[in-house]
Structure 1
Amino acid sequence: MEGLEIPSHFLCPISLEMMRDPVTLPTGITYDRQSIEGWLFDRKQSTCPATRQQLPADVAVTPNHTLRRLIQAWCTLHSSDGVERIPTPRLPIGQDQVAALLDAAARPSTQVDALRKLRQISAESERNRRCVAATPGAVDALARVIILSAASSDTEIDQDLILTSNSTACDEALVVLQSLQISGDQLLDLVARNGNLVGSLTAVLRRSNHQSRSYAILILKSVLAVVSPTRLMSLPQELFDEVVGVIRDGVSPQATKAALRALAGACPWGRNRAKAVAAGAVHAMVELLLEEPERRTCEATLAALASVCGSAEGRAELVRHQAAVAVVSKKILRVSQLASEKAVRILHQLARHAATAALLREMAQVGAVMKLCMVVQAGVGGKTEERAREILRMHARTWRNSPCVSPLFTNGFSTSK
């Protein structure tokens, strides 16, 4: 296809690529369906990209069958040049079809097949996912499948076939529910109507199936981000045990980040820091940092660790790990600005609330003091530099003879700023 010029009227005005499913707006302009639906869904006030003309909120696009056939004929004509013929697109899914699949999913004999079809159509396009989410009762039906499956797995049942069927249905429902990207308000309403959802997701995390655990933690992270502080304060120890288990087991990179963000969001409330420490969160996160994770995972780990270290239990557990101070210090000025800010915050918590003579010696030996001096000398500004200066001031007497600290004191650091 190299060197072959595609007719300009075959190109989508948004993507500038050949259209596979051309559709026309009421303004008369034709676009590829995926491109224009993405444009319309991402904007609260719909406009035509080419004319900037305002469109109604419920604007409908019309398939341009004539243009599609011309594009297909052109592709066939140039097949010898390596052009592949575009397939005839499927008709978009409608809410009546989604409702029919949900009805089938409510019957044990057709549940798994119906959920698999729902998963397939949800994976096809953003439009289909929005259609599923907008279908009345859809998200509640998916939540009920998860809740009933978790309830049956907690009951002593000898019928392995039933358990397997429930588990499979739950897996399919998890995939669909997670893909819908439900808004915060919708999630709150969903949890209010399905009070056992958090407990059921926790039960799914106990499974050995990594895929199920991955989707469950992604949904759980979103739920914990929107529920009330009162609800967060009442989270059970079991939830923290299972969330930490996702980190420790390396279920998937995406699941690990979701678990870390769930911890960081939940820890500030009630006794959650102590629950996280009891679950082994500090050890799991330090071990993760030792594996040199990619930037975003490193940032999420340090953020969660800083949150846990807001408690005496968290700080004591961190100091107890022989590699903790060294690996946290290593991330300063090495990963990102955010990672440096979180790492310095952790050291600040230790230096302020857990500064034993042994800890201060360790900070000097593993290079933490040198990194703090570098933060000050680099003038990074903000809370990061402020905390670094405060740590050095607090323990100036102990570190005054350190090769990296002494020049700062010579230059009047102890009285500056």
Structure 2
Amino acid sequence: MEEQAVEVEVPSYFLCPITLDVMRDPVTLPTGITYDRHAIHRWLRLADGATSATCPLTKLPVAPDCEPTPNHTLHRLIHSWCARNPAAAVDSIERISTPPVSANLGPLVSRLADPKKPERETLAALREIRDVAGESEPGRELVAAFPGAADALFAVLVSTSASSEADMALDAISSLRLAEPCLVRAVDRDGMALVDALVSMLQRDADAVSRARAAMLLADVTACMAPSRASSLPEQVFVEAVRLLRDNDGGASTAAIKAALRVLAGATSYGRNRIKAAQAGAVAALVEVLLDVVEGGRRRAWCELALCALDRLCGCAEGRAALVAHAAGVAAVGEMVVGTSAAASGKAVRVLRSVARHAATAEVVREMVATGAVTKLCAVAVSPETQERTKERARETLRMHAVAWRSSPCIHPNRYPC
């Protein structure tokens, strides 16, 4: 007769009250209740910015930046129980087989904050923090929520002159996927020094992965800057963004190019930045992005960002001059008027309207007809699927040079809507 296996129940005090899973790294709040560290850190992080959080069980107030006390005794009990009951706790053993690293984060963060530490010790601390953040989702959340960890990483990135330390700090920051409030605090604290540090990393011609991380963080940082700072970015920001776009067929990754487009689309909402971007060659680089979309049909997600940047650049004379000077500028934008998303079509019409209003020499007017841009404006102006605002802008553009375009042999008179 076969012996029936006896089901072993997991002791209730081994389970986190929040997740109801066996705790990997039990910690105790000042209220006396023990939770898994990553779960309680997430709970407290949700209260960030409030005057106080509460203990999930007792509802007693707890400071959002409270650092719970590691419960080493309970951790040893859980590990011992899982070892004695492998059949009943396969998942639990896997969860706790790795010793908790959270207790070491405090000394690691302190080591980063000490400017007198030798470079090798700083690198070792950065490596350990990066490994914790990269090993699992709980590890990432643990480092992101640990008081002072993100600030210390940003401080290293801004202050170090050693490329190895900067790359390691950037690697760790990228692993954390920090929320916008944390980035805003970093920007408010470090200001343009953070932008300068990221630009320097792009200038170093590091490997593709490091360049992509620097570009993505630069896009995030500039997006959450206050207008007073974002409106006066250094010229080198635009030079490096353009260089990434021109490296499309070289070593630049898709993520890096998209980040460069985000930088240009966001920063050119300010007048002074438009001139800097135009002087850095942004218009020609953006036209090449559109041509790549037209010819290859790939990366259509880039289209809206490129057109948004071109629309803003055409808000200055330098941007419009660069667009009409490009041999394929008008044609590339005209191709985006139809067959794209509503947002892309609207931006393309806005660009053509700017050209027709402010840069329409006789040669440009003829080019708009020859490249098919006018025909596409006609199609958009009468299409029932086009948004009303885009229709009106297309009609407005067509009325500007109606005499020249209506008499053109390239335009069928029955199709002209004005």
Q: TM-score, normalised by structure 1?
A: 0.73
CA contact (8 A) 2:153 2:173 kept: no
Measured after TM superposition, the shift of residue 38 of structure 1 is: 6.2
The total of aligned residue pairs comes to 381
Q: Matched residues in 2 for 1:337 and 1:54: separation?
A: 51
CA contact (8 A) 2:24 2:95 kept: no
What residue is the counterpart of 1:393 in the other structure? 399
CA contact (8 A) 1:373 1:388 kept: yes
Q: Is 1:198 the equivalent of 2:195?
A: yes
What residue is the counterpart of 1:300 in the other structure? 305
Q: Matched residues in 2 for 1:383 and 1:191: separation?
A: 41
Distance 1:43 1:169, change over 3 A: same
Measured after TM superposition, the shift of residue 229 of structure 1 is: 3.8
Q: Select 2:329's aligned residue among 303, 319, 324.
A: 324
Measured after TM superposition, the shift of residue 43 of structure 1 is: 7.6
Gaps of 5+ in 2: 1-9, 11-15
What residue is the counterpart of 2:413 in the other structure? 406
What residue is the counterpart of 1:259 in the other structure? 260
Distance 1:325 1:70, change over 3 A: farther
Q: Matched residues in 1 for 2:276 and 2:384: separation?
A: 38
Secondary structure, counterpart of 1:120 in structure 2: helix
CA contact (8 A) 1:205 1:216 kept: yes
Q: Percent same amino acid at aligned positions? A: 37
Q: Select 2:148's aligned residue among 115, 129, 135.
A: 135
Q: Select 2:389's aligned residue among 383, 386, 400.
A: 383
Distance 1:306 1:32, change over 3 A: farther
Residue by residue over 1:318-343, the C-alpha shift from the partner in whole angstroms, topping out at 9 and shown as x without a partner, is 11222222222222232322211211
Q: Which amino acid letter does the alignment assign opposite residue 186 of structure 1?
A: R
Q: Matched residues in 2 for 1:69 and 1:319: separation?
A: 74
What residue is the counterpart of 2:364 in the other structure? 359
CA contact (8 A) 1:22 1:67 kept: no
What residue is the counterpart of 1:122 in the other structure? 133
Q: Select 1:110's aligned residue among 113, 121, 146.
A: 121
Secondary structure, counterpart of 1:121 in structure 2: helix
Gaps of 5+ in 1: 1-8, 150-165
Q: RMSD of the TM alignment (CA)? A: 4.4
Measured after TM superposition, the shift of residue 76 of structure 1 is: 5.2
What residue is the counterpart of 2:272 in the other structure? 271
Secondary structure, counterpart of 1:109 in structure 2: helix
What residue is the counterpart of 1:173 in the other structure? 169
Secondary structure, counterpart of 2:120 in structure 1: coil
CA contact (8 A) 2:320 2:355 kept: yes
Q: Matched residues in 2 for 1:313 and 1:75: separation?
A: 71
Residue by residue over 1:156-195, the C-alpha shift from the partner in whole angstroms, topping out at 9 and shown as x without a partner, is xxxxxxxxxx211110111223444252530332224xx5
CA contact (8 A) 2:41 2:142 kept: no
Q: Is 1:227 the equivalent of 2:228?
A: no
Q: Is 1:147 the equivalent of 2:165?
A: no
Q: TM-score, normalised by structure 2?
A: 0.73
CA contact (8 A) 2:132 2:140 kept: no
